[in-house]
């Protein structure tokens, strides 16, 4: 189904990054957009997304970024 899609995007909140309970949806090269609620702080994840030309959109929740 992803292969036949014109645009593939995923919505991921910040708690899903660096989580070992990860379920693989697809390889990064299938993604066009990642939409998340906070800037991604992990450089390895950022570089992998950039390498695969995935656009990153940050949508603030409640008007501020949440941090740990």
Query: What residues does each domain of the chain span?
Result: 9-58
Kindly report, residue by residue over 32-58, the tens digit of the pLDDT.
999 999 889 889 999 999 999 999 999
pTM, entire model: 0.76
* Structural contact between residues 42 and 18, judged by C-beta atoms closer than 8 angstroms: yes
* Structural contact between residues 49 and 28, judged by C-beta atoms closer than 8 angstroms: yes
Provide long-range contacts, Cβ within 8 A and 24+ apart, for 14-21.
14/38, 14/40, 14/66, 17/41, 17/42, 17/45, 18/42, 18/45
β-strands 9-12, 55-58: how paired?
unpaired
Radius of gyration of the chain (CA): 12
pLDDT category, 66, cuts 50, 70, 90?
A: very low
Percent of the chain with pLDDT over 90: 46
């Amino acid at each position: 189904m992803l292969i036949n899609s014109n645009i593939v995007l995923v919505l991921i909140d910040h708690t899903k990054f660096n989580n070992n309970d990860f379920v693989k949806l697809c390889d990064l090269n299938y993604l066009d957009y990642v939409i998340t609620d906070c800037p991604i702080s992990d450089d390895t994840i950022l570089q992998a997304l950039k390498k695969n030309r995935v656009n990153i959109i940050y949508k603030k929740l409640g008007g501020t970024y949440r941090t740990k």
